[in-house]
Chains A and B, each alone.
Chain A
């Protein structure tokens, strides 16, 4: 799903000049092919002027009714008296009907309440109440995968006009704001749109270190994402009890996962530079292909960094990952080590284990060092170790339109 803020980037505003009409009197049109073309409710307001006809060329804006009870984009911008043509599409993959109701400033929840009061007449009227604050509407509910076109001229009076889905149970969270002749605040500062929309973007809001359990690509159903101080991030798999991959730059975007019911995975801030095929260390003779079962036991936060605790067969393991510039240090603690400890040879990265010695072509950690040792990893084409502030990759959501 596109970032809501992206959609109106490319739209140029038509300056309304002196042409003006109050929205309430503008013709709201429901497109042909829908059940009943409906005129705008003739809301009576003593301040109403004679309606002006909408100019022929209306600016076309696509507005989606999207998964997670939300409008996408969550806010729109227009000039007073501007002619708009909304292409409203119900793309909600959870297959729910929605409606669209544009209301006077500050009246979103009043109209939601009025819709609740419609009782059994609600379904027939698309849950659109006859209320003086209603300026325009979809006229009916838009069924899943359905579309409705709505043309209107924005009010002459500058203001922040709310739009909402007044289907019962939806209106508390499914609303947005049409800014008419009013400067939009930054998305993060905008109090006129739902909080869920505000919080899109970085998991942890950019805090480092940060730990988040969430569905992630290529990591099984129980991954744990860790943002380290600096720029490095890694994914620990709590099923196989090993690091799956590491990436640099922004941490994770959890929006898609959290907005839905958990169907979508979080997205990495950048492509992984290391994907591990096996655990970093293994125990035993090295001849056996036996892969003893791993059992995850949890983690403790040490200055915010998780030290994972697990068992591989009978061997208890503690593993804490730190970052030094572009180098990942994987610190192992093996309090009761009995078996031989072998470090994997992974040629896809620069891998070092100063405590290991080479024996019969294998990297082995001697018994006297095995209680605590580190494995260091660095990407092969690593840029020189410089500024540690996170670069923002192109495919990552940003907060400003």
Chain B
């Protein structure tokens, strides 16, 4: 879900359609290749659809009749149905073989997460609480709505979304709580203890146009806003897990079970981010800090950036703003199946503003998480607003929403129909550069250095909304070594810089048969060198 007070620019909109075109920034020394192949010999959206259709079938599923078709949550059920939560509070099951909907629950408040439990109940994260839905008499409808955890604060601010839950191998749940937005004030009555740090509460009921600037663009004035929490579903007890989040719409795990959380470009977020989240970590947005036990009375906005920089863990992966993602959403693991071939075990993530899914990979170098993002399935037929993702067998389901932001409605199902296209599968850091693995062998002549271009830039960590690309440079490798099988290219660079994005342009590559990549860019966030 895009989660920001909208500062919309045409540049941002222009980027939405940039898969179809060449240059995205005329000021650059050379035209920037598109993130994905504009389709062989053309740029039209329908051509892109036709190209992507060679690899993926995309079908539409409409929501149940009479239900606002904005999807808040998806959950694949063991019996082959898909559970779907909708904006206005319904949870419904879809039976794909019968193509039938049945309403299971109603009346929930902005449900944004669903998780089936081993006992047959269904957990749902709604705005005010984590709830367990049970059908105790087998009627097909939930008859008990049991509160599992509501021990977090609510001010009534519209931006206080609640995300999750996801469950780790030990059965613990993780949920994430959005900050409030200065786009609005708070209700007269709040839930939870009001934080006596920062702008005085009475000012929240004064001239908000004026006072909102003093509250912080995004603020946390009731417990655990901006935190990831760990919840024990058996006892309903919750513990703070990690802080520093802004609008953490997506939670998931990598193949090793590490918790992943996505966050949206905005204040303290130069570009959208993926974090590998560990207990006790602080992930950069300071509004949540005063809820730490060791925090004094210092308003978070008064903490010098240098101090924050010392205690924060930067994002493992930046999603370069506009060119890769404007508003990343949920991530899920791709099944290790024949259909999904080389991508099995990798993580796929959705995006709100453009019809695009991305992949992400992470690795740990000298104790620091970092990795890359790759445009994956990008086609107008997918439609925008790709808020929720879930695999049901080999079908990748996408549920769309918009609220008051750009997006879409209803659901789509993406299925691979053949061999994986040519593209970068994974990028790994080496001591002297990068290894880029491909889904198909490159032609032996792709070892020419001129075919490889990388743009390097970084983003600022600051209170301002977003960041331009800073210290941008065009790089060429000093050497390219192709493996004998053509599946991996090692690029050598004369120097490597930490905390920079290495944005790879792969549009000039080809296979022996002349096939060019379906997606022609990939961005590695280098945090730590070997």
Chain A residues within an 8 Å CB radius of B155:
221
Give the CA-CA distance A127 to B145 in the complex, in Å.
46
Interface membership of B89, Cβ < 8 A: yes
Chain A residues within an 8 Å CB radius of B46:
113, 117
Interface membership of A363, Cβ < 8 A: no
B87 touches A258 (CB 8 A): yes
In angstroms, how far is the closest chain B Cβ from the Cβ of A57? 37
Give the CA-CA distance A141 to B8 in the complex, in Å.
12
Chain B residues within an 8 Å CB radius of A170:
406
In angstroms, how far is the closest chain A Cβ from the Cβ of B321? 16
Give the CA-CA distance A298 to B108 in the complex, in Å.
12
Chain B residues within an 8 Å CB radius of A299:
144-145
B402 touches A123 (CB 8 A): no
Chain A residues within an 8 Å CB radius of B110:
262
Contact with B along A99-143 (1 / 0, CB 8 A): 000000000000001001111101100010000000000000100
Contact with A along B152-176 (1 / 0, CB 8 A): 0011101100000000000000000
Interface membership of B363, Cβ < 8 A: no
Partner of A220, one of B23, B88, B187, B404: B187
Interface membership of B472, Cβ < 8 A: no
Give the CA-CA distance A174 to B6 in the complex, in Å.
18
Interface membership of B197, Cβ < 8 A: no
A298 touches B107 (CB 8 A): no
Give the CA-CA distance A260 to B181 in the complex, in Å.
14
In angstroms, how far is the closest chain A Cβ from the Cβ of B229? 17
B147 touches A296 (CB 8 A): yes
Partner of A298, one of B11, B147, B154, B158: B147
Query: For B23, B88, B407, which residue has the most chain A Cβ atoms within 10 angstroms?
Result: B88
A301 touches B144 (CB 8 A): yes
Interface membership of B301, Cβ < 8 A: no
Chain A residues within an 8 Å CB radius of B143:
300-301
Q: Which of A45-53, A211-219, A315-323 contacts B (4 or more CB under 8 A)?
A: A211-219
Give the CA-CA distance A31 to B14 in the complex, in Å.
25
Give the CA-CA distance A195 to B6 in the complex, in Å.
25
- Nearest opposing residue in chain B for A143, CB measure: B8
In angstroms, how far is the closest chain B Cβ from the Cβ of A133? 15
A210 touches B158 (CB 8 A): no
- Nearest opposing residue in chain B for A220, CB measure: B189
B128 touches A238 (CB 8 A): yes
Give the CA-CA distance A119 to B156 in the complex, in Å.
40
- Nearest opposing residue in chain B for A124, CB measure: B10
- Nearest opposing residue in chain B for A116, CB measure: B45
Chain A residues within an 8 Å CB radius of B5:
95
Give the CA-CA distance A97 to B8 in the complex, in Å.
8
A69 touches B402 (CB 8 A): yes
Chain A residues within an 8 Å CB radius of B466:
none
Interface membership of B515, Cβ < 8 A: no
Interface membership of B92, Cβ < 8 A: no
Give the CA-CA distance A298 to B128 in the complex, in Å.
12
Q: Given A215-B156, A258-B68, A296-B150, is A96 in contact with B8 using a C-beta cutoff of 8 Å?
A: yes
A214 touches B18 (CB 8 A): no
Q: Given A113-B46, A258-B88, A261-B158, is A119 in contact with B20 using a C-beta cutoff of 8 Å?
A: yes
A122 touches B403 (CB 8 A): no
In angstroms, how far is the closest chain A Cβ from the Cβ of B75? 19
- Nearest opposing residue in chain B for A297, CB measure: B147
Interface membership of B255, Cβ < 8 A: no
B126 touches A213 (CB 8 A): yes
B17 touches A116 (CB 8 A): yes
A254 touches B405 (CB 8 A): no
Partner of A261, one of B14, B403, B409: B403
Interface membership of A28, Cβ < 8 A: no
Interface membership of A37, Cβ < 8 A: no
Interface membership of B69, Cβ < 8 A: yes
Query: For A123, A212, A260, A261, which residue has the most chain B Cβ atoms within 10 angstroms?
Result: A261
Chain A residues within an 8 Å CB radius of B353:
168-169
Give the CA-CA distance A101 to B147 in the complex, in Å.
48
Interface membership of A172, Cβ < 8 A: yes
In angstroms, how far is the closest chain B Cβ from the Cβ of A213? 4
Total contacts A to B, CB within 8 angstroms? 181
Interface membership of A325, Cβ < 8 A: no
Contact with B along A191-210 (1 / 0, CB 8 A): 00001100100001100001
B44 touches A117 (CB 8 A): yes
B407 touches A67 (CB 8 A): no
B154 touches A123 (CB 8 A): no
A95 touches B14 (CB 8 A): no
Q: Given A94-B405, A113-B46, A260-B404, is A213 in contact with B17 using a C-beta cutoff of 8 Å?
A: no
Give the CA-CA distance A172 to B384 in the complex, in Å.
9
Give the CA-CA distance A212 to B22 in the complex, in Å.
49
Q: Given A123-B11, A222-B129, A297-B146, is A172 in contact with B408 using a C-beta cutoff of 8 Å?
A: yes
Give the CA-CA distance A222 to B17 in the complex, in Å.
40
Q: Given A120-B17, A298-B146, is A213 in contact with B89 using a C-beta cutoff of 8 Å?
A: yes
Chain A residues within an 8 Å CB radius of B187:
215, 220-221
Interface membership of B116, Cβ < 8 A: no
Interface membership of A272, Cβ < 8 A: no
Chain A residues within an 8 Å CB radius of B129:
222, 238, 296
Partner of A169, one of B24, B127, B147, B407: B407
- Nearest opposing residue in chain B for A194, CB measure: B409
B128 touches A127 (CB 8 A): no
In angstroms, how far is the closest chain A Cβ from the Cβ of B408? 5
Chain A residues within an 8 Å CB radius of B421:
none
- Nearest opposing residue in chain A for B23, CB measure: A120
B128 touches A69 (CB 8 A): no
A173 touches B17 (CB 8 A): no
In angstroms, how far is the closest chain B Cβ from the Cβ of A245? 13
Interface membership of B109, Cβ < 8 A: yes
Give the CA-CA distance A95 to B154 in the complex, in Å.
25
B107 touches A168 (CB 8 A): no
In angstroms, how far is the closest chain B Cβ from the Cβ of A339? 23
Contact with A along B123-154 (1 / 0, CB 8 A): 00011110110000000001111110010001
In angstroms, how far is the closest chain B Cβ from the Cβ of A117? 4
Q: Given A169-B353, A262-B127, is A118 in contact with B17 using a C-beta cutoff of 8 Å?
A: yes
Interface membership of B296, Cβ < 8 A: no
Query: For A67, A211, A219, A301, which residue has the most chain B Cβ atoms within 10 angstroms?
Result: A301
Give the CA-CA distance A262 to B403 in the complex, in Å.
9
B190 touches A221 (CB 8 A): yes
Can you spell out 19 A-B residue pairs with CB atoms less than 8 angstroms apart?
A95-B6, A119-B20, A119-B21, A122-B17, A168-B353, A169-B16, A169-B402, A169-B406, A172-B408, A173-B402, A215-B187, A219-B189, A220-B156, A220-B191, A238-B129, A260-B403, A296-B150, A298-B147, A299-B145
Name the 8 nearest CB pairs between A and B, nearest first: A169-B406, A119-B21, A123-B10, A213-B109, A221-B154, A222-B128, A262-B158, A220-B189
List 6 extra interface pairs beyond A168-B354, A210-B106, A238-B128, CB under 8 A. Answer: A119-B20, A120-B22, A173-B408, A213-B128, A260-B158, A298-B146
